[in-house]
Amino acid sequence: MTPGPRTPRKSAARALCAAILCLGLVGCQTLLNETYSPNVGPSDNPQTVGRLEKNDPRARLGAQEHPRIVASYGGEYSDPKVERLLARIVGALTLVSENPKQTYRITILNSPAVNAFALPGGYLYVTRGLLALANDSSEVAAVIAHEMAHVTANHGLQRKRAEEAEVLASRVAAEVLSNEIDGQQVIARSKLRLAAFSRQQELEADVIGVRMLGQAGFDPYAAARFLRSMEAYSRFRAGDAGADQSLDFLSSHPDAPKRLQLAERHARAFGPPGTGIRDRDMYLKGINGLLYGDSPNEGYVRGLTFLHPNLGIRFSVPKGFQIDNTAQAVLATGPGDIAIRFDGVTDNRRKSLTNYIASGWVSGLQPATIRSLRVNGLDAATARASAEKWDFDVTVIRVKNRIYRLLTAAPKGSPALEPTAQSVRNSFRKMSSSEVASLKPLRVRLHTVRAGETVAGLAGRMRGTNRRLELFQLLNALSPGASLSAGQEIKIVTDR
């Protein structure tokens, strides 16, 4: 691909990598032989959940890693309708799998990322973000069949057992924060070797998965169709400067163009397009009301504003910035390679905020710049720090027994540091009780298209993104220029 011009958003993304994203252990995926045999067979000794009760260290590996996977993706998401829907899909696929006696445990992860994976012992995972992107049961079945194939082919036990952590913190953490952070490390999510397969194993799982789809009566072309949707989603995410794409499906499932060709080739063995069941209506009814985007426990991003109803605080970033909300911190990037990080720590000792800034957690601190101030009626303090290529504004604000930290990074000598930091700092305030009561999570809602309604009009009802038309087309698998028909069921994202 020929690189395009260095737009402000791409430039800010590079700044995020340099000033806000982590310095950690990043594993290289082994590029194995990309050829494959269409006559892929499963293991003669597949791992079953029953073995978890025995003293098999390989089988225990899946059980041991399960809590870490769940924690890495925001916990489990509970929705009886969706759980029944997935159980029906898994049941149908199990009957045609290489080992119909294999028992599976499927977990919905409370994450907006689009991902799915498997661990030894029949542990299957799909994120609610993936469920929101899919448009019928056959597409979800395609993903689950692929992951079930990893289990029956013993792929998880063919990999090294060593864990490979990918720390997502920031250069702010490395250059401004010391290692002693009260109660929290600036570690985002870990990426386990158990959840990333080799290229050859992915191709094998694709072959087995498409066969399972067709034999279970699902549309075998769903695998290729949903791969296209995930590619489109990946491009959409690439436009959000701070987005953590390492948690998405395609980041650990390489060679999407080749996989598309292979999936379509193997689907043709079951007939022409249109073969098999899609089960669109039942699927869409099953995900109606599905939580979308940020979890209430992590706060919400609404345009240029971050709001946390549980903590009762909010702040905004300047126009032209993009916000990415994670379980560990809120990151924002904008023009001029400016980056912002927001997080909070518990402070039961109630030390003065000027003393807190000077207590050793900020490296490169310029002590003479420390000063106290008030921000919208709240006690606060601010200071400057510097690193090799970066200048930082450090602002701390107390609300009850919490200290909230706003770190703004800019290239050394940038005149934009002070106005940006001041704008964000001055926007921080406590939310009113009416604001908290009115803030609702985003959900996927079904809408039946009426005569005269257009793509642009319905996209205008979308909430939670500045790119409404793109997201509407993406969630409904609509190509640019596509029109809608009266009576058609579509998905919108709304807080109503």
pLDDT tens profile 71-86: 888 899 999 999 999 9
What is the arrangement of strands in the sheet containing 489-494, beginning at the earlier edge strand? 291-292, 442-448, 489-494
Which segments within 219-329 are labelled E, that is strand? Answer: 291-292, 300-302, 305-308, 313-316, 322-325
For the chain, percent of residues with pLDDT exceeding 70: 74
The reported pLDDT for the residue numbered 102 is 80
C-alpha radius of gyration, the chain, whole number: 24
CA 391 – CA 385 distance, rounded (Å): 6
Q: Which amino acid is at 28?
A: C
Asked whether the predicted pLDDT for residue 39 surpasses 60, the reply is no
Asked whether the predicted pLDDT for residue 21 surpasses 70, the reply is no
CA 467 – CA 41 distance, rounded (Å): 44
Look-up: residue for tokens 């080799």? Answer: 198
Handedness of CA 456, 461, 462, 466 (dihedral sign): positive
Q: Which amino acid is at 366?
A: Q
pLDDT, one tens digit per residue, over 103-135 is 888 999 999 989 998 887 788 999 999 999 999
pLDDT, one tens digit per residue, over 229-252 is 998 998 887 765 444 444 445 544
Inter-residue contact 141 to 92 (CB < 8 Å): yes
The pTM score is: 0.73
CA 405 – CA 380 distance, rounded (Å): 10
> Which letter, b or e, does each residue of 25-59 get, where b requires 16 or more Cβ atoms within 10 Å of its Cβ?
eeeeeeeeeeebeeebebeeebbbbebbeeeeeeb
Asked whether the predicted pLDDT for residue 188 surpasses 50, the reply is no
